[in-house]
Chain A
Amino acid sequence: MSLAAAPLVRDWLGVEGDRAVIRTGKVDFGQRITTALLRIACEELTLPPDRIRVAPVRTGAAPDEGITSGSNSVEQSGHALRCATATAREAAAALAAQELGLDPARLTLADGVFAAPGGANRIDLLPLIARLNPALAVNASAPASPRRAHDAPLAPRGLRAMVEGRYAFLQDLDMPGMWHARVVRPPHALARLKSLDPEAVTAVEETGQRVIRDGSFLAVAGPAEWPVLRASLRLARGCDWDLGEGLPEGSPFDRLDTDPAISLPVAPGGKPEKGSLPPPLDSFTHRLRVERPNTLHGSLGPSAALTVWEEDVLRITTHSQGIYPLRDSIADSLGLDPDTVEITHHPAAGCYGHNGADDAAFEAALVARALPGTPILLKWAREDEHAWEPAAPAMAIDLAARVKGGQITGWSGEARGDTHRGRPRPGPDRAGPQRLLANRFRIDPMAPYSGQPNMNRHGGLHRNLDPIYDFASRRLVKHLVPDGPIRSSALRCLGAVANVWAIESLVDQIAGETLQDPIAFRLAHLDDPRAITVLEGLRDSLGPAPEGRGIAYAQYKNAQTRCAIAVDLTVTDHAELRLDRIAIVADAGRIVDEDGLRAQLEGGALQGASWALYEEVRWDRDGMLTRDWDSYPVIRFDNIPEIAITLIDRPEDPSVGAGEASPPPTVAAIANAVHAATGLRLTRMPFTPDALQKAALEA
């Protein structure tokens, strides 16, 4: 996909003096994709990292790589960059050989210099690359450089500055004449601004600040942040809201069975199809339903954007994961030519998916439009982020299995939930603008986006719905239940969390009931040799099993990183889960950045543990109830297990995405460990003490 949109070598690689410049459309939010890309360029060009610059990710200059999501960056941008730099290296070698009158095969390349045998004749690589034909196309099968054994680990970019407090996040940016801005939010998404007390507006504007209103969208801007924050509170007191009927109450799961759904069969292999649903599985012996609530991205830094409305261009600095789709959606919202909107990515806190970044960018644009020429740094409050970011949709998974002779011979999986596709991107019916929060509140408000089914292989709801095991027959169905009570979108792993948790719970249950070892039982249903190596690696790495040990295995999208997990935990007298140890074995193909890979796997395991133990979005008719870190707790330092990671490097195999590999099997392994420790099969996240006690009473 990346090479189709940006097919030329110069789309990815340039030369600037004695440095190479690499370009990517993928953005870094702590997952270290730029470190991985830098490593790839270092390997292919044989240059040290300080001779390679990663260009800013900006519309008009960066290749259009859509959205940084789905653990695709190493496979898309990484592959494209590897091929582009390898193509350039080969073409430069041909030029060098020509000049030296030698066969290119006789040249060696080291430290960015071609050398003839004996080393007498030497030519620098970069000036040759600068001379390459600008129309040179990337050769998608250019041979990758053999890895150099002496490659030292690359420190993550910016780490030294981070520990010294010098690293500037988007929230830290400053410009001459810059103003700060905050949005005054309604009590909930269905409320409308009936009236705004003129005295409140006067009180704020008398202090030199400005009130910006567009229908029910209300914001305040001024020269300093704290006074603006206070002004937003003053304005909030002057708002009279029409609360309408309030938010729909009731279980977010019950509606998944009763509200209108778009139901589609999913073929084995994970691709949804149009057509009639397969008949139910006959003579099943086991069934299980699990339910995952809405959960938050919960970025540690509330979303922000820096925007200036200049005479002929709207400049936006954002931490969005998709600068091109956002540009088109904002341009459409404001009736602008996309070429007059320039969007630059700048890092902020980790996002883990579609958080408030895009919405903040558009809101900053609305404020900047009212204050042309003044740079506007708009920041969300903590409460904004918790109550207004698009949450992961609630999901319910219904499984049934037929067991014969200790083997699973038939399988049925049905996934239900609202959309994961809340990101602003162009589409029919102005789908881009529909998915920007502020457009719901402006004059002539737009209706919220109504989810359309994702037809991609292992897309949203049906990501990892297809079991990785070779069950003889399987029927798979997805039910998109759109128009849910709260806005939903993409959160790390999408549907894979609920699907893997469900599958691995039922597999675990059947193994237990048929008195089979959980790893041996899984191995008996796998024929992928790499999966078998991963699971055997896990088995061999484990010490004697404590009471509360759970096992799980998954391969993300059944195509990316293979990941086996064992969780050891203890249930306290207060029914709290204490995480003791997590063992991870993973195969991500050819390892690009080993330390970055480990960081993704262990960070993912802890995020998965946090979802499993703590996280649930709650609301009532008056609005969101989870508005801060007390009402929406997440994992903290007091429950961090020891984590042991074993990596299986496959230098001859393609590198595959790893950022979302570990959370789903971690959730499943925790559930299985709880079952091992207590005999209780928990079927609704989070696994709180209340949930455990309730399950014990019902058992």
Chain B
Amino acid sequence: MGAGPALVSLTLNINGTDRVVDSDPDTPLIFVLRDELGLKGAKLGCGLEQCGCCAVLADGEVALSCATPAAVFEGKEIVTIEGIGARAMGAAVQDAFVAASAAQCGYCTAGLVVAVTGLLETNPAPTRDETAEALTPHLCRCGSHPRVFRAVEIAAAATDR
């Protein structure tokens, strides 16, 4: 390899494990996840933070990974779709999406599962308007939105204690 940009060493806490990667500091997180760590669950839809396919949790907050450099995520606990099922809420949301058949092509689904998990962990009983607001950064082009709303209700009911 010839002269590329200088690489820096980053330590990223992903799904509970510290991962050390050598990366061009401008690399958006999603390329580190997908190409260096083999975590391909987050999807690249736009690279512009307009569609939500690439969502992850960072310290419990929903974050889009397609444009923000990986270096910005150092020191945060990152949870990807691959790790979301290890959280009680994440597993409930996954089951709810299956129960509601809340996907057609499925390209938006990983991002939505992450976003719904993030929503319900902070707001266990959202109103429909609150759900709509939380999910509006996410696109679904097949029109599975009504089923996603249903999945949110199912997951909220299943985790209601």
Residue A75 is within 8 A (CB to CB) of chain B in the complex = no
Residue A640 is within 8 A (CB to CB) of chain B in the complex = yes
Can you name the residue of chain B whose Cβ is closest to the Cβ of A379?
B44
Q: Are B105 and A350 in contact (CB under 8 A)?
A: yes
Residue A590 is within 8 A (CB to CB) of chain B in the complex = no
Q: Are B131 and A165 in contact (CB under 8 A)?
A: no
Can you name the residue of chain B whose Cβ is closest to the Cβ of A319?
B105
Q: Are A165 and B81 in contact (CB under 8 A)?
A: yes
Q: Are A300 and B108 in contact (CB under 8 A)?
A: yes
- Of the residues A160, A162, A604, A637, contact of B131 by C-beta under 8 Å: A637
Q: Are A207 and B2 in contact (CB under 8 A)?
A: yes
Known: A225-B34, A302-B45, A630-B48. 8 other contacts (CB 8 A): A30-B142, A165-B81, A168-B40, A224-B35, A300-B53, A602-B147, A637-B135, A640-B145
Can you name the residue of chain A whose Cβ is closest to the Cβ of B82?
A165
Q: Are A349 and B41 in contact (CB under 8 A)?
A: no
27 intermolecular pairs with C-beta atoms under 8 Å apart: A156-B103, A156-B104, A162-B106, A163-B103, A165-B41, A165-B42, A165-B110, A168-B40, A169-B106, A171-B44, A206-B3, A225-B31, A226-B35, A298-B141, A299-B107, A299-B141, A348-B105, A349-B45, A350-B107, A382-B46, A599-B101, A602-B147, A607-B143, A636-B139, A637-B136, A640-B145, A643-B146
Instruction: Give the number of residues in B that approach A within 8 Å (Cβ atoms).
Output: 60
- Of the residues B28, B82, B107, B148, contact of A300 by C-beta under 8 Å: B107
Task: Report the number of A-B residue pairs with Cβ-Cβ less than 8 Å.
Answer: 173
How far apart are B12's CB and chain A's nearest CB, in angstroms?
15
Complex Cα spacing A208 to B4, Å: 9
How far apart are B54's CB and chain A's nearest CB, in angstroms?
11
Encode contact with B along A352-371: 1 for CB under 8 Å, 0 otherwise. 10000000000000000000
Q: Which residues of A contact B31 (CB under 8 A)?
A: 225-226
Residue A269 is within 8 A (CB to CB) of chain B in the complex = no
Q: Which residues of A contact B93 (CB under 8 A)?
A: 163
Q: Which residues of B contact A156 (CB under 8 A)?
A: 101, 103-104
Complex Cα spacing A299 to B98, Å: 23
Complex Cα spacing A31 to B104, Å: 6
Complex Cα spacing A352 to B104, Å: 12
- Of the residues B28, B47, B81, contact of A164 by C-beta under 8 Å: B81
Q: Which residues of A contact B65 (CB under 8 A)?
A: none
Can you name the residue of chain A whose Cβ is closest to the Cβ of B144?
A603
8 Å CB interface, B60-107 against A: 80-82, 84-85, 93-94, 97-98, 101, 103-107
* List of 9 A-B pairs having minimum Cβ-Cβ separation, nearest first: A165-B41, A30-B105, A603-B143, A165-B81, A606-B143, A206-B2, A350-B105, A162-B106, A349-B107
Complex Cα spacing A301 to B131, Å: 24
Which of B24, B28, B103, B132: most chain A Cβ within 10 A? B103
Q: Which residues of B contact A513 (CB under 8 A)?
A: none
Complex Cα spacing A642 to B128, Å: 11
Q: Are A640 and B149 in contact (CB under 8 A)?
A: yes
Q: Which residues of B contact A629 (CB under 8 A)?
A: 46, 48, 50-51, 139
Q: Which residues of B contact A225 (CB under 8 A)?
A: 31, 34-35
Complex Cα spacing A30 to B143, Å: 11
Which of B40, B105, B108, B141: most chain A Cβ within 10 A? B105
Complex Cα spacing A164 to B24, Å: 29
Q: Which residues of B contact A165 (CB under 8 A)?
A: 39-42, 80-82, 84, 110, 113
Q: Which residues of A contact B35 (CB under 8 A)?
A: 224-226
Which of A156, A381, A599, A638: most chain B Cβ within 10 A? A599
Complex Cα spacing A159 to B101, Å: 7
Residue A280 is within 8 A (CB to CB) of chain B in the complex = no
How far apart are B139's CB and chain A's nearest CB, in angstroms?
6
Q: Are A226 and B27 in contact (CB under 8 A)?
A: yes
Q: Are B113 and A208 in contact (CB under 8 A)?
A: no
Which of B5, B101, B138, B144: most chain A Cβ within 10 A? B101
- Of the residues A168, A595, A637, contact of B132 by C-beta under 8 Å: A637
Q: Are B104 and A599 in contact (CB under 8 A)?
A: yes
Residue A227 is within 8 A (CB to CB) of chain B in the complex = yes
Q: Which residues of A contact B141 (CB under 8 A)?
A: 298-300, 349-350, 352, 607, 634
Q: Are A382 and B47 in contact (CB under 8 A)?
A: yes
Residue B140 is within 8 A (CB to CB) of chain A in the complex = yes
Q: Are A164 and B142 in contact (CB under 8 A)?
A: no
Contact A163:B132 (CB < 8 A) given known A350-B142, A603-B144: no
Q: Are A227 and B24 in contact (CB under 8 A)?
A: yes
Q: Which residues of A contact B107 (CB under 8 A)?
A: 169, 299-301, 348-350
Can you name the residue of chain A whose Cβ is closest to the Cβ of B45?
A300
Complex Cα spacing A160 to B97, Å: 9
Residue B133 is within 8 A (CB to CB) of chain A in the complex = yes
Complex Cα spacing A640 to B93, Å: 20
How far apart are A169's CB and chain B's nearest CB, in angstroms?
6
Q: Which residues of B contact A230 (CB under 8 A)?
A: 5, 24
